[in-house]
Structure 1
């Protein structure tokens, strides 16, 4: 019922809708207070009442909405304090109370929302200090406290919140040094200005005063290491350039292959030597060495004279064309970033070669091949028992959490599918194929051309084409169901994504019938995975959990095998 011209009060009879999973009353002209009968809507998962003229306090009975995941009450005239029992919403992912008239302090109990990824309480009249308990919000990615009357020092405990990506404290009365947190250090200056006395090394902020011992310590920690690190980096960079130029001169003299080669360093070889050896051991990329084909190229297995076995992904056409300089530069920048990724559940990228004849990637070789082939083979799939499958789901979750939350800028894979999950000899999962990878830059819109595998692509990409981490989260949900079920969920994805699906689904309906029924403990673990996967399939991207939250839930509840 959102985006209409409803101008009445909310009737008390709304409490009779106790089976309702989603309610949207947003962007209307609804007046009056929120009826306490809302507390009877115990099945509610998504509630939007933003953009109305609701007034008064939020009724205490609201705390009964134990299943709520997405709650938006922004842009109303709600007042008094934020109810402390909001902290009991254990499943809440996104809470928006901005643009109201809430007063008093931030309730300490509210900060127990350990699964919340977004909290917006901006444009209110909140006062007092920021409670130190905010560090308990381990899954929080976006925090907006701007346009309030908050005072005191910014807490050092923000440095413990590794998942925090964006923070806005614009127009408060905060003071003191900026925490050494990625969210603060990467924040645009506009999100920090308008406070009483913030200090640090950000542009347009006052430096911390030397008269204070605390201030002296901050300046020393911020400035001295930067100067020292910069000097050391520049020194090494100069030496590196000299050695690279010398190596290039030598290689150009020793080359027996015509054409210029651009090779990003890999393994313990120099670029030219390895290029020549790959051409030799693959017999000029003979079909006999081919182990797979994709939309952009062909995959070869290459056993080097050193004994190392690598995978060579050769592109269908060279990337060395003169007319593609801009594309090649962007591509090489992404390759350089990916070469620095080091995670046990991500296929190692050893290097990249650009030549007038051939352009290819050199990657880690994994013995058992792709997950899709294993699940499609009746005999081999039976070797993939429940514990191994749970471990595969955990491995993929850990890899994506690392890419989304521990890399700067964040890395979005955009093509998570069973074909791009490779298994080693111990059935350990490794995310592979970064051909469609997108590096998320905070200052870009991240609009993109369509990419991905049909059946795994988030629905919003069909009409927005805007890539976010939540696109990978959706694909992960599809993959997790596929691993447990033994095959792609197909058309049943739409029913699994419904808010009430979790109430009706039977675990036996999503189990691979080729395996014996699991023990009670393993069955409980499988249920946790299926429920998480269904949350990932939510049609609303903002209502999906983050990979950081998912990896934490799996780490806590799934036994190591």
Structure 2
């Protein structure tokens, strides 16, 4: 029997004491004695079962304390003691069982003896209510129960702990309202109750918790306004209230959060404006106001947040242009302005070379996409749904050729290989039927002017335009030829944009560069005067 590693005697209705001799079965890893009629204390000898992984003695009439039972059970993963008559304090040794995954203590008479300071049981599969007498453990300093399956009313099951400095109940099934009395926990520096079923309003009294540095009430069912009293928490560095039903506006006093580094108010119904005082939070590196009802423009003062690394204002109804002050956000790496009513161009982002990820889709923005990696490497989904963005990004239309005065001019030189020869193609984009407008230039600057004109390149994809010219002229078919010159033939081409251009296929030249350029310029200007 000493080599026995599993013993299951559940639902057999045996009565009496648990025999201490079970402690001699040192190879035992599983012991199941639940749903019987056992009574008396749990024998201390069970503490000798150092290999024990699973212990269940629930639903009996066991009594007494369990203080000395768990010191050596370091391999224990599952402990079910519920629905007995066990009493006394919950032993601190439970917090040392690092392999523990499931713990059920409910339905007993455990009490706090005033000595429990650390209750650490996070990241397990504990389920059911917490011991009701935990409310009386006035000596508690640190409680971590996050990421379990615990239930209970937080306003009834937890008390006021004058020494408490850390409380994390996130990712459970707690319900009820946040008690205003928690503000009496004068040493509390971190309060985290995210992703539960908490209802009601945020008590303004929390603003009196002067030591509070982190407050996370996200993903609950909180309603009402954000109390302006919270802005008295001048030590606060992290505030997360996202995923609730908070309404009205952000308090104007928000600038008082002088130490705040992380602010997430997303997924509420906040409106109508982002307060200018938000710019006073100079230490802010994360700001998320997405998925609200903000309907007024982005305050220019937001440009003062020079430390901000991630900014999300998406899924609102924010109108207007993007403030030029955005150019000051040199620490910005992630930006999301999608699904708003923003309009105008986005040239200001040419200054944000540190930008890594961007989403401006579904606005009314227009003009060329900035030539920075964040835009050039982004997906079309981050740009689509706008009024008229263009540029060298897959899925966007190329930008139209630049305009000069009343007519459209583009000089460009392309050098695609054709065997051993070099094909130099210069394109003059013009509208037929216009009048030439030009002035004589000083002879001294003529060469410079010619070179600048010849090598002016607009925001278009040269390879794509070259392919389109080849197609439009049927590979420079003679039927498309409209003139001949000393430097090559000129062809008529109609682009997919509807623009009609004259294309000169230039023969390779070996003459002096400036003289050749000048003669070519003269030919170009002559073609401008022709009315086709």
TM-score between the two structures when normalised by the length of structure 1: 0.39
Q: Which has the higher strand share?
A: 2
TM-score between the two structures when normalised by the length of structure 2: 0.41
Comparing both chains, which one has the higher relative contact order based on Cα–Cα distances under 8 Å and sequence gaps of 6 or more? Answer: 1
